Structures are given as structure tokens and as C-alpha cells.
Chain A
């Protein structure tokens, strides 16, 4: 079974992922790729609390996760991969590791320096560059908070005058 969903969401494991996408995709495992979280046991405990018992949570740093990607893509378990920001997803994808896969932008919220793109997506300039770099790695990038919501393509996320390519 392939990886069901690659998602960038600041909130990581929370209602939209567990209930919204979880009830549709029926995952067995949610992998959070985040260098600092991978070392912080108390934070892992907190994130894991919201999960129903049948879903396993795993926390890995980028290097380890890159090593496991092939295994997840071809293994029997149904996997959701989450990162907190676009940059981490790009690190995961570098060298064509996610070629042909779809990456879902699910929630990047307001903070100073970020521009409103969608009600649930705010982007800094460098994050726009990272999204384009992701696309250049052969990844299909789009935004969608919930499975039934409209899929917003990369071209709509970054208006033409801001695109580098």
C-alpha cells in the first residue's frame, strides 16, 4: 500500500487530519517528520493523545524518514506523512524522492511576514520558493484542508507575477 497522503500542516496531528482525512483514508500509521520533535519525548506524547488506538504515531527526523520512504511506499501499512512546514517537505523530497507523488498543503497560519493566500494558507516569500522547488522535484503540489474541499493548484497559490519560472 502506498503512502496515502503527504501533508504540510502546522498543527500536525489534529482533528482535520485524524477525523477529516483519517475517516476517509483509514490509515494505520501517521508519521510526523520533524527534526526537533523526533528528539522530544514529552511533545510526542502530547501529539499522540488525540489519536484513536488503532492508529500508530511515529516521529522521525528527516534523514531517517528519507531512508524509510521506499519501505512505506511499497509496504503493507497505510501511511500518512506530515510535516510542520514546506521546507521540511522539500528536504524529504530532494533528489526526486517524492517524484510523482501529491503533496497536500493543509494549514499554514498567519504570522508576521506571511501573506494570506487562502483562509488556511499564509505564505512567506521563501515558502513560495520552496513550493516551486517541490514542484521542480516532480511533486504535484496543491492545497486542500479537508477531503471534500476544493483542490487549489500551485498555480492558484502563487499568482503568475510572483512565479519565478
Chain B
């Protein structure tokens, strides 16, 4: 496994989420497939990314104290899945990878909060009323950016190592079995897709648009 690539990519993904440049390569649907690509198994990344994205959709960065960081966790989960699956996609392992991603995103989110408290110390002498040195202000800002990159790289590579070890050990057991795991992932994906409706005022407000979409979606899923 290419640990260096995972570390750098994880750093970039974590930074993109809030610090720079927010072009949304930090979304699981982007971060995970690129991870797969880096490791030579893009489709494994697509599997993890699509599922974690469905879970990430309903979380809006509005008005809460802390959020899970889904991007770095998706990178770690994908790396673990690729390492453990050994070139064959297995639904039972995929389920474990997704569960790992959903747990690890909380750890990543907590690290974001920690860095924000650290930033408070970093910038505190600039804020206030004394004279402010422009160079120093710039330096501190760039230091904060670098710190965030380091943080993200660390939680990603740590998570990837943990996931690879954990999934590798659990992989021999087959868990609830491949068929049941695929079914569960199907049900979970469907539930979260439905839950996304709350982003757009729910069923009662948008009946017509939802129905139209449902009809098109039904046709697509039968024809395709």
C-alpha cells in the first residue's frame, strides 16, 4: 500500500473541508474514489464513497458545535477496505469499512475542534488593540493552514492503518455473510437517500417535484 500517497491525499482532503480551498474534493464521493485510484482499485473507492456520501448528505455545517469529518474518514476507510479485500469486492468487508468510516469520522471531527482551540492560542496576541505586524499575521495564518494539513494527514493515515488491521482481522470471519451485508447496505443507502428529502423542505412541501423524480427514477431502475 502506498502510505505516502494516502498521507498526502488525506492532508489535502482534510484541509479542503474547511481551511483551503473548499472545492469539495473533501466529499466522500470524491475523496474515496481518488483514494481507490491511488491504490490501483478505484471501484472499491466508489463503493465506499457512494455509501458514505449518502450518509454525509444530511449533515449541514450549520449551527452545531461539532461535525463529523467525513472526507478524511472516507479516505481511511477506503484504504482499509482495499488493503483487506485483496482485489475482490466483498460486501461483508464493505459493510465493515462503511461502519468504520462512520465511527472514524467522529474522531476526525474531534481533531478539527482540537485544532480550532489551538488556533485560538495562535492568533490571540494578534487580536486586540496592540500594534499588529502584517508579516506575523500572515505567518500565523499560514502556520494554521499547515497545522490543519498535518492534523488531517495524521488522522487519515492513523485511521487507514487501524482500518487495514481491523478489517484484515475481521475479514477472515465473514461477519453476517456477503448476502446479508449487501442487503443491509442497500437498505441503509435507501434510508439515507430518503432522509435527504428533509434538506428540501420534506415531502409535504415538494410533493410534485418528488413524485416526478420518483417516476423517472423508477423507469431508470427498471430499464437500466
Contacts and interface: CB of A to CB of B under 8 A. Distances in A.
Nearest to A119: B65
A48 B62 CA distance: 20
Q: Which 4 A-B pairs have the closest CB atoms?
A: A15-B63, A20-B63, A19-B63, A15-B62
A20 B64 CA distance: 12
Interface string B54-73: 00000000110000000000
Contacts of A19: 62-63
A109 to B, nearest CB: 13
A16 interface: yes
Contacts of B63: 15-16, 19-20
Q: Is the interface of A mostly helix, strand, loop or mixed?
A: helix
Contacts, number: 6
B195 to A, nearest CB: 18
Contacts of A20: 63
A105 to B, nearest CB: 19
A106 to B, nearest CB: 14
A19 B63 CA distance: 10
Please tell me the size bucket of the interface on A.
under 10
Nearest to B129: A112
A16 B63 CA distance: 8
A68 B62 CA distance: 35
Interface string A1-45: 000000000000001100110000000000000000000000000
Contacts of A15: 62-63
Nearest to A112: B129
A147 to B, nearest CB: 12
A20 B62 CA distance: 11
Contacts of A16: 63
B201 to A, nearest CB: 11
Interface string B169-213: 000000000000000000000000000000000000000000000
A104 to B, nearest CB: 17
Contacts of B62: 15, 19
A112 to B, nearest CB: 8
A26 to B, nearest CB: 14
A19 to B, nearest CB: 7
A29 to B, nearest CB: 22
Nearest to B63: A15
Interface in B4-63: 62-63
Nearest to A146: B63
Nearest to A16: B63
A15 B62 CA distance: 9
Nearest to B65: A119
A20 B63 CA distance: 9
B125 to A, nearest CB: 15
Interface string A127-164: 00000000000000000000000000000000000000
A32 B62 CA distance: 24
6 contacts: A15-B62, A15-B63, A16-B63, A19-B62, A19-B63, A20-B63
Nearest to B128: A112
B30 to A, nearest CB: 28
A16 B62 CA distance: 10
A16 B64 CA distance: 11
A122 to B, nearest CB: 15
